[in-house]
Amino acid sequence: MIQVVNLQKTYPGTRGVLARGEVRALRGVTLDIRRGAALALIGESGCGKTTLGRIVTGLEAYTGGEVLIDGANIAGMTARDRRAQFRKVQLIPQDPYAALNPTRTIAAALFDPLRLLARRGGKDGAWIERRAVELLRLVGLDASETLYKYPHQLSGGQRQRVVIARALTVEPEALVADEAVSMIDVSLRLGVLNLLSQLRRDLHISVIFITHDVAAARYVAQDGQTAVIYRGEIVEMGPTDDLIQRPVHPYTQSLLSAVPVLHGLEQAGPDRFIPRPTEQGESNDSSSCLFADRCPFADDRCKAAHPDPEPWAGAPDDRLVACFKPKERKVVAVPLSGRASNQ
């Protein structure tokens, strides 16, 4: 459904007092998401995952490589065609409150895009209202209690559901959820994550889930793929659960080691290590491994050459790893026996 090939994005450097060099947000990312599939993109802030999400939803331009939606290359399309293609890929942003116009009701937010569709399909006003109610029900909201409210009158979870319902108005083929639950109350997060899985199942919509919360990624992309991004490159990719339980790249292991352990309920994995913090002024030199400065296992070779993603033979399913010293480590927390607490 969505293919990106060797995608690159470089922000030009700035001049003046706060001058900085050009920033390479994406350094050649290749991905292929099929219809109805799930893909989680994980990495720390600034790694380029958000940029990738904005590019495939048409909100930002790219500087190299290719983006294909439904097999059609975006480059060379007329602006009108491009807009129509990108309408198939809808973004669910991090902050649902910012994504809704505070001066307009939920009804207005849903009716506008529906009116576009109605005009194209020769439907009437009654259809618009019916469809809005239907979509709200689909995302788990009761229309009679939400339709004529303003965004500030809803809870965080309800707002994010409204944003999802609005994205569904244009009948998209893929949703890109960028940290879509990080600003929602903990008790409501799981509900929204479940909703994304349910939409995938029922409507056959592809979901790209962008996050730094590996557990949430596991939840949404349970039967899909996870790609770990570091400084604009995919450093490891594979089936989600396999990747989490048996990470091979030291950066993936760092990310997983950093996940808090719920002491009392689980214990730290045997190989867990303390990840090194982000260094200031990391080298921008792509002739070495970009993670070498922070990698606890790096040697001279890592500083001399740049590893490319290669299949890793040690995993049962297909796994790509860009590392000279790949090694499986058990860093994920292990549950203590008997979760008696949860009845």
Partner 1 sequence: MASMNVQAKALPPLRRPNGWRTAGRVLVRKPGRIAGLVIILTFVLMAAFGPLLYPATLPSDAAQIYAPPSLAHPLGTDFQGTDVLAEIITGARFVLLSAFLAAFFTVVFGTVIGLAAGYARGLVDSVLMRITDVFLTVPQFPLLIVLSTVWKFSSPLALGFVLGITSWGGLARAVRSQTLSLRERGFIEAARGLGLSNRHIVTKEIFPNVAPFVVMNLLFATTGSIYSEITLFFLGIVPFSNNNWGVMLNMAFFQSGAMYTTSGLLYLMSPLACIMLVTFGVVLVLDAVDEIFNPRLKGV
Partner 2 sequence: MAAVMEQSTMPAAPEVRIRNLSVAYQTSTGLFDAVHKLDLDIPKASITAVIGESGSGKSTLAMAMLNSVTFPGSIRSGTIEYAGRGDIVTFDRERLRRFRGEHAAMVFQASQDTLNPLKRVGAQLLDLARSHGVKDKRKVLREARELAERMALPADRTLTSYQHELSGGMRQRVSIIFALALHPQIVLLDEPTTALDVLSQSHVLEIIREIHRERGLTTLLITHDMGVVAELSDRVVVMYAGRIAEDAPSRELLRRPLHPYSQALIRAIPRLTGPLDDAQALPGAPLELRQIPKAGCVFRDRCPARMPVCDTGTPELREVAPGRRVACHLEVTP
Q: Write out the residues near partner 1 by the rule CB under 8 A.
A: 57-59, 83-84, 86-87, 90-91, 93, 95, 98-105, 107-108, 112-113, 116, 140-142, 144-150, 152, 155, 157-158, 161, 163, 166-167, 169-170, 191, 194-195
256 binds partner 2 (CB under 8 A): yes
Query: What string of H, E and C letters represents the secondary structure of 130-167?
Result: HHHHHHHHHCCCCHHHHCCCCHHHCCHHHHHHHHHHHH
274 binds, among partner 1, partner 2, none (CB under 5 to 8 A by kind): partner 2
- 240 φ/ψ angles, rounded to the nearest 5 degrees: -50, -60
Nearest approach in angstroms of CB 171 to partner 1 is 11
What x/- string results for residues 146 through 185 when contact with partner 2 is judged by CB under 8 A? ---------xxxx--------------------------x
Per-residue b or e along 190-208, where b marks 16 or more CB atoms closer than 10 Å to that residue's CB: eebbebbbebbeeeebbbb
Taking the C-alpha atoms of residue 223 and residue 229, their distance in angstroms, rounded to an integer, is: 19
* Member of 116, 265, 304, 305 binding partner 2 (CB under 8 A): 265
Instruction: Considering the complex, state which of residue 173 and residue 236 has its C-beta at the smaller distance from partner 1.
Output: 173
Q: How many residues does the chain have?
A: 343
194 binds partner 2 (CB under 8 A): yes
Taking the C-alpha atoms of residue 328 and residue 249, their distance in angstroms, rounded to an integer, is: 8
126 binds partner 2 (CB under 8 A): no
- 48 φ/ψ angles, rounded to the nearest 5 degrees: 110, -5
Q: Which region among 69-77, 276-284, 285-293, 295-303 touches partner 2 (by CB under 8 A)?
A: 276-284
Query: Which residues, 6 or more positions from 265, have their beta carbon under 8 angstroms from its beta carbon?
Result: 335, 336, 339, 341
Nearest approach in angstroms of CB 281 to partner 2 is 8
150 binds, among partner 1, partner 2, none (CB under 5 to 8 A by kind): partner 1
What DSSP designation does 190 have? H
For residues 209 and 217, is the Cβ–Cβ distance under 8 A?
Answer: yes
Nearest approach in angstroms of CB 122 to partner 2 is 39
Nearest approach in angstroms of CB 213 to partner 1 is 19
Strand arrangement of the beta sheet that strand 38-42 belongs to: 89-92, 174-178, 206-211, 38-42, 225-230, 233-239, 320-321, 310-311
Taking the C-alpha atoms of residue 61 and residue 64, their distance in angstroms, rounded to an integer, is: 9
Nearest approach in angstroms of CB 241 to partner 2 is 9
* Member of 9, 131, 200, 218 binding partner 2 (CB under 8 A): 218
263 binds, among partner 2, partner 1, none (CB under 5 to 8 A by kind): partner 2
* Member of 141, 229, 244, 290 binding partner 2 (CB under 8 A): 244
> Rounded to 10 degrees, what is the CA torsion of 277, 283, 284, 286?
-100
Q: Which residues contact partner 2 by CB under 8 A?
A: 18, 44-46, 155-158, 185-191, 193-194, 212-216, 218-219, 222, 244-245, 254-266, 274-275, 277-281, 332-336, 339-343
